[in-house]
Amino acid sequence: MLKKRFEVFRQATDVLFRRLDGLPPSDIVDDLRAKVRECMRKAGEWTASPPVNRERDDLMKRVLALHLELVKLERQLPQIAQAELMAS
């Protein structure tokens, strides 16, 4: 069961990295990328010592929260691009 949950986690972080790679460079993108790496580091500890349910759930909630942050950022990009065009 842990293996399946880890696979779901890995897929979720892979999606985050792919979507972040498609965004223009910025401090916000770098910060989100660092947060994803931190989640991956934490999950890497699962191989040495399986997490208790609460630890696993908390980490999955963090990954979900990162997905939400990314969606918000992606929605703001057209507005940011429009503002930059108008400023130039």
Q: Which domain holds residue 29?
A: 2-87
What's the pLDDT at 49? 82
Torsion sign across C-alpha atoms 17, 79, 75, 66: positive
Domain tally, the chain: 1
In the chain, which residues have pLDDT < 70? Answer: 1-2, 80-88
pTM: 0.83
What's the pLDDT at 79? 76
d(CA 56, CA 62): 10
What's the pLDDT at 48? 79
